[in-house]
Structure 1
Amino acid sequence: MIDGNQLITWGFKPGKWFKDALVVANAMKTGGADDGMIFKALAELQPSEITMRTNGLPFSVLIDAENELEQANINSVIQHMDALMRVPTIKAGAVMPDACPSGSQMGTIPVGGVVACEDAIHPGFHSADICCSVQVTVFNRNEDPKRILDVVNRVTHFGPGGRRHGMIRVPAPIMDEIILNPFTRGLEEYADRHFGTQGDGNHFAYVGIQKSTGKPALVTHHGSRGFGAQLYKRAKAVAKKHTAIVAQKVPPHNAWIKASSADGEAYWKALQIARLWTRSNHTIIHDLVRNAMGMTVLDRFWNEHNFVFQKSDGLFYHGKGATPNWSGFSADDDGRTLVPLNMAEPILILEHTNNRDALGFAPHGAGRNLGRKAFLRENQPEIPKGIDARFYCGKPDLSELPEAYKNAASVRTQISKYGIGKVVDEIIPYGSIMAGDWEVDAPWRKK
């Protein structure tokens, strides 16, 4: 009888495939095949090792530098992208005008990075903040923006953690999907407790006036909260396990789940559940404000970043801090894309352009030239005058003030220069709410 030790002696690499290989080998042995015939059959069964490319594929760089700091940022982004484009599943890539590095490990996808992958979903390419997104509601009444901000501050929660149990529940159809999916089952408590909340970091509620109508508008920015973060942990573990088998030389942060596998199909469905949860989360916050003030809705739409999309070419397009800007990217596509810049600047509303160099994406904001810690070491920013800037915990987060971000006018110019999108409307700022510096050991301060 042929066993695993015999296969190793013959030079085969151990792995999950050994189980099936031994069945074949012993069936052939029983049927009278000699060792040479068995070896040849097993050689065809042995999975081939997937390796990194020697050179990275070319990618679009749709970003300009106006000073040395910006050029250093772009250089770092390009280094990461060049390493990233060596990952064997990737077929195309692009860098948005808001690009900045998002990790120290070489080949980490930058914020503002887009990659198209074949038969692969990479959790690390959409990050733990799954389906981070923005939604706007334009109200059909000339209301004082200050009153709207006051109500937002009252009806939702900013910062870590969730609501008290039972205050607002996830809609039953969404919860049913969470329970049924193997990636989301067991995360019901996260989904429920974080429903109707805003989050921390750069997640905000912004109130302004829509330029085209003169009506007040509420824009919220957040992702799938603790629910999505836990889903990401599960997916990352599955991806590392899969890649360790088929492509041992690929770094863990570039690991993937084979999209056509059972795990891949289940995770794709889990991502759609997270998307539905997040869209509903935006909507419940907007409706709480609307109901509290007795207003009606004139207009509403949303769009996501930090997500994965599949096009008709079959590839999976991962946008890390990049927003889909092609018509029909989803069943609920509105034909417009929201691009917030900073609390003191208008939120841009783009018309879809489907720019091929940008792989159909647009920037999700203004981006940074320096990380939070580096910026705070070198700057002492002040809250801009004329803006009602509020911080839920009571202490401003200086790393979220406008000075921490790239020049908004420059980003807007690059959107036009590279044909990424056409600005068709704006939301003029009144003020915003963020979590603020809720504790001294916030995640970005930890080593």
Structure 2
Amino acid sequence: MNNISGKTLTTWGLEPGAWFKDAIPLANQMRDEGKTDRQIIDHLFTLRVMPAVTEGIPLRTNNFSFGQFIEPEGEDEIQNTASVIAHMDALMRTPTIERGAVMPDACPSGSQMGTIPVGGVVATKDAIHPGFHSADVCCSMAISVFKRGVDVGPVLDAAMKVTHFGPGGRPVAAWHHAELNRLIDLFQHNPFLAGLEKYAIEHFMTQGDGNHFFYTGEVESTGQTAIVTHHGSRGLGGQVYKRGKAAAERHTRIVAGRVPAHNAWIKADSEQGQHYWNALQIVRQWTKLNHYAIHDETAMVLGNAVVDRFWNEHNFVFQKSDGLFYHAKGATPSYTGFADDNRGLTLIPMNMSQPILVASSLVNNDEALNFAPHGAGRNLSRTAHIKRLIEEFGGDARGLSPFNVAEIMERETKGLDVRFYTGRPDVSELPSAYKNAEQVQRQIEKFGLARIEDRIMPRGSIMAGEMPWQRNKKKPKAEALAAS
């Protein structure tokens, strides 16, 4: 673990000064004694609080409580949860935040202290924080149920033809879709969207990389064949996020200079805030359209009819009747009316070998801000997980061999038709990379975060697969392996 430095203290929201000379060794001593970052932060804030007014609105200097709905099991989860709580504690000092909560699938999503974790939810007053929904705007789930049953092979064959995984997109003139064109016509009237028409067209009918997928299975209660997709707004949302974050940083430097850039915000009731909110809603519509266009094209290739469908986002900003803006960084809304098109059902995926949960808001928890997990979450980073696999198979600086990868695939996806679009399996996305799915479901039920109504039983899936830039990460330096 890295030593605590003056930079660390600054990112925690502590004002630099001569007192850092004593604070830094004290903080490192506390860490050596086994204290968590949260305990260290709390203690340091009692030693030196920020002035009442400094460069605009100050960070909070007191410990601001938040709901914790996560019970770690095992050493990896204990360390993971300690990091999540430390980040949340620093995050909750942001002056716009009124409430917060951590879901059972929580894991850190950045190294800068106070970065909202995956599985974190915060409610803010008159503020929209682009960093709290991140670049993967409106990452979401969609399901379509077919009229007739279909074997897994033909479904995945059809999907491989109609969609695209990985970076980039399709040629600009590839799609002529009336609803897509209607949305694009709105771009010119919004400063956060103007000029991004190319991204909306090129990335249509694509799904990206990482943990995004095309999954097929059977509805447990009826035996019907269903397809489920998981992706966000692709390059379009990424560009809107960049513009939003730049605007937020300009605003926050003026009104709250001590707030770190990753927690900057746009004033919601300002003209700029209204433009950004409207841009997010248009991005949401694009993402929904993208899910269903992939589903419709797959159904057309199969010659089958879609008899039921719904969708939900889990990486977005929602406004409730209390006027607050609820930022979900990888958390599923579990309350009625979170969107005009909400049917009262949401999808919570786990991993490719586990069922996708169909949940309802008939049970929810106000202390959890009426949210549920968005999946199983991670205990280790992708790189750390791959390193552990290399150690298990006695690997060296060359990484995992094709035989190692085949063995891992066999034990983790047995009985399933699992494909990777690039043709190279990404072992950092296999089931062992994620938390125990049954454990997460138990915590959903224990804490009353949602009610599980049904499950989509796994039969097969497609993921992007290993990208060129991942290959070096799969080959850690020999000295690093020797030292582990």
Compute the TM-score of the two structures, normalised by the length of structure 1: 0.87
Unaligned runs of 5+ in 2: 1-52, 391-404, 477-484
1:176 deviates by: 1.0
AA at the equivalent of 1:376: I
Task: After superposition, give the CA deviation of every residue in 1:200-238 in whole Å (9 maximum; x if it has no partner).
Answer: 111000000011111110000000000100111000000
Structure 2 match to 1:129:
136
| Aligned equivalents of 1:201, 1:345: Cα separation in 2 | 18
Structure 1 match to 2:469:
440
- SS at 1:306 equivalent: strand
Q: Is the 8 A contact 1:343 1:402 kept in 2?
A: yes
| Aligned equivalents of 1:165, 1:356: Cα separation in 2 | 45
Residue 229 (structure 1) aligned to one of 227, 238, 242: 238
In the alignment, is residue 112 of structure 1 matched against residue 119 of structure 2? yes
Unaligned runs of 5+ in 1: 1-45
Q: How many residues align?
A: 402
Identical-pair percentage = 58
1:325 deviates by: 1.0
Structure 2 match to 1:393:
422
Structure 1 match to 2:39:
none
- SS at 2:216 equivalent: strand
- SS at 2:366 equivalent: coil
Task: After superposition, give the CA deviation of every residue in 1:340-385 in whole Å (9 maximum; x if it has no partner).
Answer: 0000000000111331011011111000000111111112571221
Residue 210 (structure 2) aligned to one of 181, 198, 201: 201
1:179 deviates by: 2.2
Structure 2 match to 1:408:
437
AA at the equivalent of 1:413: R
AA at the equivalent of 1:86: R
- SS at 1:379 equivalent: helix
Residue 106 (structure 2) aligned to one of 99, 122, 129: 99
Residue 170 (structure 2) aligned to one of 135, 143, 163: 163
In the alignment, is residue 376 of structure 1 matched against residue 386 of structure 2? yes
1:441 deviates by: 4.6
- SS at 2:318 equivalent: strand
| Aligned equivalents of 1:358, 1:109: Cα separation in 2 | 15
AA at the equivalent of 1:379: L
In the alignment, is residue 62 of structure 1 matched against residue 62 of structure 2? no
Residue 269 (structure 2) aligned to one of 249, 260, 276: 260
1:440 deviates by: 3.2
| Aligned equivalents of 1:293, 1:417: Cα separation in 2 | 41
1:48 deviates by: 8.1
| Aligned equivalents of 1:104, 1:53: Cα separation in 2 | 21
Compute the TM-score of the two structures, normalised by the length of structure 2: 0.81
Task: After superposition, give the CA deviation of every residue in 1:32-84 in whole Å (9 maximum; x if it has no partner).
Answer: xxxxxxxxxxxxxx998101000231001101111111011110000000000
In the alignment, is residue 183 of structure 1 matched against residue 212 of structure 2? no
Within 5 Å, give how 1:214-253 maps onto structure 2: 214-253=223-262
The structure with more radius of gyration = 1
The farther-off stretch of 382-391 and 230-239 is 382-391
| Aligned equivalents of 1:297, 1:120: Cα separation in 2 | 40
AA at the equivalent of 1:433: I
In the alignment, is residue 279 of structure 1 matched against residue 281 of structure 2? no
Task: After superposition, give the CA deviation of every residue in 1:142-180 in whole Å (9 maximum; x if it has no partner).
Answer: 111211111001111011100122122452211111222
CA 1:446–1:247: 2 relative to 1, 3 Å? farther
CA 1:344–1:441: 2 relative to 1, 3 Å? closer
AA at the equivalent of 2:374: H
| Aligned equivalents of 1:335, 1:354: Cα separation in 2 | 12
In the alignment, is residue 367 of structure 1 matched against residue 377 of structure 2? yes
Q: Is the 8 A contact 1:47 1:246 kept in 2?
A: no
| Aligned equivalents of 1:443, 1:335: Cα separation in 2 | 44
Q: Is the 8 A contact 1:358 1:420 kept in 2?
A: yes
| Aligned equivalents of 1:67, 1:293: Cα separation in 2 | 45
Q: Is the 8 A contact 1:207 1:219 kept in 2?
A: yes
Structure 2 match to 1:87:
94
1:334 deviates by: 1.1
Task: After superposition, give the CA deviation of every residue in 1:303-341 in whole Å (9 maximum; x if it has no partner).
Answer: 001100000000000000001110111100010110000
In the alignment, is residue 344 of structure 1 matched against residue 353 of structure 2? yes
CA 1:443–1:118: 2 relative to 1, 3 Å? farther
- SS at 1:49 equivalent: coil
CA 1:306–1:216: 2 relative to 1, 3 Å? same
AA at the equivalent of 2:446: K
1:438 deviates by: 2.3
1:269 deviates by: 0.1
Within 5 Å, give how 1:294-305 maps onto structure 2: 294-305=303-314
| Aligned equivalents of 1:347, 1:227: Cα separation in 2 | 27
| Aligned equivalents of 2:247, 2:55: Cα separation in 1 | 20
Structure 2 match to 1:21:
none
CA 1:163–1:444: 2 relative to 1, 3 Å? farther
| Aligned equivalents of 1:280, 1:442: Cα separation in 2 | 33
| Aligned equivalents of 2:379, 2:54: Cα separation in 1 | 43
Task: After superposition, give the CA deviation of every residue in 1:181-217 in whole Å (9 maximum; x if it has no partner).
Answer: 1100000001100011111111000000011111110
Q: Could you say what the CA RMSD is over the residues aligned between the two structures, in angstroms?
A: 1.8
| Aligned equivalents of 1:446, 1:273: Cα separation in 2 | 41
- SS at 1:357 equivalent: helix
Q: Is the 8 A contact 1:349 1:425 kept in 2?
A: yes
Residue 154 (structure 2) aligned to one of 147, 158, 179: 147
| Aligned equivalents of 1:261, 1:47: Cα separation in 2 | 23
Q: Is the 8 A contact 1:311 1:329 kept in 2?
A: yes
